[in-house]
Amino acid sequence: MSKRVVVTGVAGISPIGTDWAAVRARLLAGEGGVQRMDQWSGVKGLRSWLGAPADFETPLRWPRKMRRSMGRVSAMAVRATELALEQAGLRDDPVLRSGRVGVAYGSSIGSTDSLREVGRFLATESTEGVTSNVYVKLMPHTTTAAIGMFFGLTGRLLPSSSACTSGSLSLGMAYESIRHGYQDAMVAGGADELDLPAVATFDTLYATSCRNQTPSRTPRPFDSDRDGLVVGEGAGTFVLESRRHALDRGATILAELVGFGANSDGAHPTQPAQRTMAEAMRLALADAGLSADQIAYVNAHGTATELGDIAESQATLEVFGRPVPISSLKSYIGHTLGACGSLEAWMSLEMLREKWAAPTINLENRDPRCAALGYVVGEPMRIKADYLMTNNFAFGGVNTSLVFRLPPREGTTPREPDA
Amino acid sequence: MNQTPEQSRMAVLIVDALNLEDIDPADIDPEELMFGDEGLALDSIDALEIAVAIAEEFAVHFSAKEETTREAFATLGNLTDFVMKEVNART
């Protein structure tokens, strides 16, 4: 029998704050975290000098033997996980070492800072400075392994490293692990650190914003004057567990993850595909046993790239057939790559738990090629939602869609039987 | 536990290589065991980091198999003696 999967802890490190109170204030004020990165202005050929850094330093109270094999990306992942486990009341629970709790986590690659050392080695053919920790910081599952080691987890270790769907794919993988009874609880999420390789990659695709003089005016998801994305950084972690497990230990249930859809384009490495994007959303709805009408809000991937925004909005309209309320949190935090799937899910969940949704900032005139959806603009919108959907898409043609159910509103829904 | 000038230099190299923020190089006892549960409580990964730093600083290389390597890493004093002997043998 399949198990129901609930959220009992969630936290993030983001360009607009590292706790919900701070993030909430920035969202309500319409203040994004994009900055001009003057230190990049000397990089030959780079057109975009914009980034959305997170205010984060690796805590020195952590044991040195834990810190030495963590790059910035892993440190942010571990810190977000520490906060999420604390909220779930599981930080030092022996169940973490029982084999019944695992981790699904990922990033675009590993710590890009360690890439410098490997790059120097390859360029000079000298191993000078290359230590065993360099590879551990660089490997694709560096965040997954760091979380497992730091918290002593002994269950499944599932790397979800798939660029911009790392965070969302991990939530799906964790959900399925619990749903099918392989694990009682999972840590799940994604992270990425802000560095030049990602910026330069998008820059070469003419997909970065180059409004270097006006960082607060970009990115502009779905806007006719958008000129591309801004790379950000951060980490978002969910603690998922079976509803039974959460109820048995008296945990507070924040939400339920009820649907996951994932597929792939099987086509172009970087161009999005409307048809398979829409299909991923339908798969998530089918998994949740819901119709599109029951979803009150969609958190868009909304990168502010020309092709991405058009394909995504048209796919969303194709599935919903109505101007469903939608916004892109990337207008505040930039594209946090491996983190965005879980970071944006966290922020969406917190907003909708409080019955509001943030507007997409900088969206002033919808690109007529983007579908006519219910874009939240200007002011936060009051939304009473039972269900929300959050979508993410990645290079390589990866599409994911997640559907969360919010806890019953007080006094409106009778207590339901336990499953 | 007075350090010789060579031991002081090696102590700084170890502290820098391992980012031992809470250790003053001058406080490392040349006779105290550095690995296991004692002293600095270093482990095999630390030894690899130190070996890379010594290779860069002194162009002295260690063999992972030789028993002399294990002995050399036991204490700050042993490590300094080993490296200095190798350096002096070259000149």
For residue B36, what pLDDT is reported?
87
Lowest-confidence range among A91-100, A404-413, B28-37? A404-413
For residue B66, what pLDDT is reported?
78
Q: What are phi and psi of B7, to 5 degrees?
A: -65, -35
Contact (CB<8Å) B19/A64: yes
Q: pLDDT tens digit string along A113-159? A: 898 888 888 898 887 778 888 999 999 999 999 999 999 999 999 99
Contact (CB<8Å) B45/A69: yes
Say yes or no to pLDDT of A412 above 50: no
Say yes or no to pLDDT of A75 above 70: yes
Cβ proximity of A308 and A282 under 8 Å: no
Assess A69–B contact: CB distance below 8 Å, yes or no.
yes
Share of chain A above pLDDT 70, in %: 97
Q: pLDDT tens digit string along A31-48? A: 999 999 999 999 999 999
Say yes or no to pLDDT of A411 above 70: no
Mean pLDDT in residue range A354-377 = 98
Assess A58–B contact: CB distance below 8 Å, yes or no.
no
Nearest partner of A381 among A5, A24, A28, judged by Cα: A28
Q: pLDDT tens digit string along B17-69? A: 998 988 999 999 999 999 988 789 999 889 989 999 999 999 999 887 778 88
Nearest partner of A389 among A352, A338, A339, judged by Cα: A352
Cα-to-chain-centroid distance, residue A217:
22
Range ranked top by mean pLDDT from A353-367, A397-411, B13-27, B59-73: A353-367
For residue A409, what pLDDT is reported?
58
Indicate the domain borders of chain A: 5-248, 261-405
| CATH match of A5-248 with 2.40.40.20 | no
Cβ proximity of A188 and A9 under 8 Å: no
Contact (CB<8Å) A128/B55: yes
Residues A252-270, buried b or exposed e (16+ Cβ, 10 A)?
A: eebbbbbbbbbbbbeeeee
CA distance A383 to B74: 65
Say yes or no to pLDDT of A415 above 50: no
Q: What is the CA radius of gyration of chain A?
A: 20
Say yes or no to pLDDT of A376 above 50: yes
Mean pLDDT in residue range A349-367 = 97
Q: Give the number of beta-carbon pairs within 8 Å between A and B.
A: 27
Which residue numbers of A are catalytic? Answer: 164, 301, 335
Report the amino acid identity of residue A222: F
Alpha helical stretches, state H, A108-190 = 112-124, 132-138, 142-151, 166-179
For residue A413, what pLDDT is reported?
43
For residue B37, what pLDDT is reported?
85
Who has greater pLDDT, A367 or B52?
Answer: A367
CA distance A376 to A357: 8
Of B21, B43, B52, the CB nearest to A131: B52
The confidence band for A22, taking pLDDT boundaries of 50, 70 and 90, is: very high
Q: What is the residue-averaged pLDDT of chain A? A: 95
Q: pLDDT tens digit string along A239-269? A: 999 999 999 999 999 999 999 999 999 998 9
Cβ within 8 Å of B, A 101-160: 128-133
CATH number of A261-405: 3.40.47.10
Mean pLDDT in residue range A13-22 = 97
Who has greater pLDDT, A318 or B45?
Answer: A318
Contacting residues of A for B18, CB less than 8 Å apart: 64, 68
Q: Which residues contact A39 (CB under 8 A, 6 or more apart)?
A: none
CATH number of B5-90: 1.10.1200.10
Mean pLDDT in residue range A394-408 = 94
